[in-house]
Amino acid sequence: MPGTVIVGAQWGDEGKGKVIDLLAERADAVIRFQGGNNAGHTIVHGGQTWKFHLIPSGILYPGTTCVIGNGVVVDPGVLCGEIEDLRARGVDVGNLKLSANAHLIMPYHLLLDQEGEQKLGKNPIGTTRRGIGPAYADKAARLGIRVQDMLDERILKKKIAAALEPKRQLLRPYAREIDLQAITEQYLTYGHRLEQHIADTAAIAWRALDEGKHVLFEGAQGALLDIDHGTYPFVTSSNPVAGAAAVGAGVGPKDIDEVWGVSKAYTTRVGAGPFPTELHDDAGEEIRQRGHEFGTTTGRARRTGWLDLVALRYAARLNSLTAISLTKLDVLSGFDRIKVCTRYRGALDEDFVTDTFPYHQSVLHHATGEYEELQGWTEDLGECRSESDLPQAARDYLAYVEEAVGVPIVMVGVGPGREQIVWTERASGSAIAGAVAGAAT
């Protein structure tokens, strides 16, 4: 103890990487527990930018063990590439551990992801096409290939052949690309290259927790992309909510003490699906440009909108959030008035108004936001380091959000840099924030 889970409270890209990097300074271990290289986590420090897809965002600290947990789906080619890039930039990856039980993304998963999107025609999900869905599907069908299988040629080949069998028909157009022997050899090579990192990662987590060290569980994506609780079917194929941290890292729920939700001060979404506060006007474009809202993984323009308090309250409940890290507040500087969505109105039934997140897909898909307008501010926030540095209107904005969601905002992002944060007074209620903020002051 203590264990802290950090999750996205929106549709991903909330700035989790930056928050985890910051907290990792005081953590013994950082564990990714779900998703794969559909994630893109950005860290900006010392004039350098780092983008991690699979490697945990604590890797820049040599003393922090970084774990890719059993719940992650791993593309070993991408992982080897990330390791090489880090080595080339002088980062030691000796402390990277890869769960022997994590499932692998195979070349045919990439083809199936692409094929699935094409089949959906005009209505694709807009996946990252990294093979995430098909890899999790094979895991559930018990046809998955695991990290440990890369270490035994006979088992590997047998398992790949078994996994390919039911896909024969679907993969017919790609027959030339699917060569059992070639895939086996390629994955044996990856196994060889990754062997030194492969470990019983749950045991690493238990040891750190038993010794009373800080352990961070790094979420990817966000609550509204959760396969059970998100805007299905426009979701990812895993559970980005905090409950999945226990399963995906191999610890029990009682090992989790704090749950931090990361949310932007507005909303973005990349890919298709309902987005009740989406803006199609100049304000939306302004947020996109000022916030550089283009995907870290695919480069796609992110859809933008005002902060959605209905969705954020839902995320708070789904994750039992104990703290919020509100990022990118600096991006809202310069708006005369800032809107926040407090309720949804149904487009099919004009009289239908709700302040809770609708479970019914038809309601959700046609819901539009109803807003409160708050006073904006003009000051640049990039240099603010304490709450008293923030303009009164920005402080009022934080107080409004905190009151509406019922969760303390402990940290506010005022720029992409590691140092561009404001710890609020409420941070004193968090063990990990206390450790990091205490060290910073």
Q: Which two tokens stand for residue 51?
A: 């983008």
Q: How far is the CB of 412 from ligand GDP (least distance, A)?
A: 8
By CB under 6 A, residue 325 contacts ligand IMO: no
Instruction: Please give the Cα distance from 132 to 143 (Å, whole number).
Output: 14
Nearer to ligand IMO (CB atom), residue 135 or residue 390: 135
99 within 8 A of 201, measured Cβ to Cβ = yes
Select the residue whose beta carbon is closest to ligand GDP and give its number.
413
By CB under 6 A, residue 18 contacts ligand GDP: yes
By CB under 6 A, residue 248 contacts ligand IMO: no
DSSP states of 356-418: S---SHHHHHHEEEEEEEEE---S--TT--BGGGS-HHHHHHHHHHHHHHTS-EEEEE-SSBT
Q: Catalytic residue at 41?
A: yes
426-432-436-437 Cα dihedral, nearest 10 degrees: 10
Pick one of ligand IMO, ligand GDP, Mg ion, none as the site partner of residue 415 (Cβ within 5 to 8 A by kind): ligand GDP
Q: Catalytic residue at 21?
A: no
Instruction: Please give the Cα distance from 357 to 159 (Å, whole number).
Output: 42
Instruction: Please give the Cα distance from 219 to 20 (Å, whole number).
Output: 9
Instruction: Please give the Cα distance from 158 to 369 (Å, whole number).
Output: 53
Nearer to ligand GDP (CB atom), residue 2 or residue 35: 35
Q: Find, among 237, 230, 233, 211, the residue nearest to 72 by Cα.
A: 237
Sign, CA torsion 315/320/326/332? positive
By CB under 5 A, residue 40 contacts Mg ion: yes
Q: Which two tokens stand for residue 342?
A: 């407090």
Nearer to ligand IMO (CB atom), residue 32 or residue 339: 32
Q: What angle do CA 193, 198, 200 make, to 5 degrees?
A: 175
The interface mask with ligand GDP, positions 298-337, x = CB under 6 A, is: -----------------------------xx-xx------
By CB under 6 A, residue 8 contacts ligand IMO: yes
By CB under 6 A, residue 415 contacts ligand GDP: yes
Q: Which two tokens stand for residue 321?
A: 């959030």
3-state secondary structure (DSSP) of residue 11: coil
Write out the binding residues for ligand IMO, residues 291-320 only, by CB under 6 A.
296
By CB under 6 A, residue 58 contacts ligand IMO: no
Nearer to ligand IMO (CB atom), residue 221 or residue 239: 221
Nearer to ligand GDP (CB atom), residue 42 or residue 70: 42
The interface mask with Mg ion, positions 313-342, x = CB under 5 A, is: ------------------------------
Catalytic residue among 41, 109, 197, 229: 41
By CB under 6 A, residue 267 contacts ligand IMO: no
3-state secondary structure (DSSP) of residue 82: helix
Count of residues engaged in binding ligand IMO, rule: CB under 6 A:
24
Write out the binding residues for ligand IMO, residues 114-133 only, by CB under 6 A.
125-128, 130, 132-133
Catalytic residues: 13, 41
Residues of the shown chain interacting with ligand IMO in the complex, contacts defined by CB under 6 A: 8, 11-13, 38-41, 125-128, 130, 132-133, 220-222, 225, 236-237, 270-271, 296
